[in-house]
Amino acid sequence: MVKKNRIGILGIGAIGSVIASLLHQTAAYKLHYYHRSIKKNIKISVDNKTITIPIRTETSVDSAPDLDWLLICLKEHHYATATHWFEKLIGPKTNVAIIRNGINLKEPLLPFTPEENMVECMIDCPVQPSENGYYRQLKKPMITVPANALAITFQSLFDAHQCQVTISSTFKTESWKKLCESATLGAILCLSGETCWIFKDKKLQLLYRNILRETVQVAIADGANIEENTFIDEMLTKLLRYPNNKGSSMLTDRLNGKPIELGAKNGIIAKLATQYHLKTPLNDLITILLTHTNFGNS
């Protein structure tokens, strides 16, 4: 009998559920679901259909399950509470895919496995929790990974018709461009509590430009290949085309009373700026405000 690929998914939230629904369809995989509470089903609604997949979640593990892959679908601020999972689930032969927003995704995992066993994944797949308990997947997932030895093996895990995995030789630049935009837009929307309609105001456009410029300068210092003025002009044009009701994940987290993924956004920008001896007063201010502002979170 052919040995099945043993794949663990850690964090069965929005992205973890989508990834699970994609891999579940392949008989060649034995899937393991790791979550901090019991979940009995993966529930996704996509293309006007609902998908319910019964699963058995594990909320703790005693011994290493000898996984071929561990796909980590946690938010940045969940990592501090997840080290016991990393210790138990990552064996010497386990490849690790880190699927989250931000940059330097391998860093928190380096105490648990060598760099060459990890693949960083930038995912484009808006998924929202809905009132009926289903995660609403708004489009086909697209994952970008850096061109390295593990990339093709990771790509082959997915059916290309259902999830496009792109191998990029400019991953760092792509990740930084995404971060520059999401941290700038996210901070302004999150702090104002408003959607993109506010950018009708020229003062807000100027603020967007100034925050973005700070983030781009850190990106360039960190090795991203971005032409500062061209990129900022492109982002401004893009911003002004957004519908009035467009929000951001940081705003959504604020409105839902959930912790904001600050360490993956303005927090990492402010931290790296210090490392590169750059001044980022706007990102510093945003980081302080969002660290210490309680939007009703318990």
Contact 25/175 with Cβ under 8 angstroms?
no
Stretch that binds ligand NAP, among 45-53, 122-130, 168-176, 216-224 (CB under 6 A): 122-130
Among the listed residues 24, 36, 106, 271, the single contact to ligand NAP using CB under 6 A: 36
Distance CA 285, CA 177 (A): 21
Q: Is 297 in the site for ligand NAP (CB under 6 A)?
A: no
Residue 138: CB minimum distance to ligand NAP, A: 8
Distance CA 118, CA 111 (A): 12
Q: How many residues bind ligand NAP (CB under 6 A)?
A: 26
Q: Sheet containing 69-72: which strands, arranged edge to edge?
A: 57-58, 29-34, 5-10, 69-72, 95-99, 118-124, 142-146, 164-168
- For ligand NAP, the nearest residue by Cβ is 13
Q: Is 125 in the site for ligand NAP (CB under 6 A)?
A: yes
Judged by beta carbon, residue 12 or residue 216, the one nearer ligand NAP is: 12
Judged by beta carbon, residue 35 or residue 172, the one nearer ligand NAP is: 35
Q: Is 11 in the site for ligand NAP (CB under 6 A)?
A: yes
Q: DSSP string spanning 173-201?
A: HHHHHHHHHHHHHHHHHHHHT--GGGGGS
Q: Is 78 in the site for ligand NAP (CB under 6 A)?
A: yes
Q: Is 177 in the site for ligand NAP (CB under 6 A)?
A: no
Ranges assigned E (strand) in 106-212: 118-124, 127-129, 135-137, 142-146, 164-168
What Rg do the C-alpha atoms of the chain give, in angstroms?
A: 19
Residues that bind ligand NAP (CB under 6 A): 11-16, 35-37, 73-76, 78, 81-82, 85, 100-101, 123, 125-127, 249, 261, 264
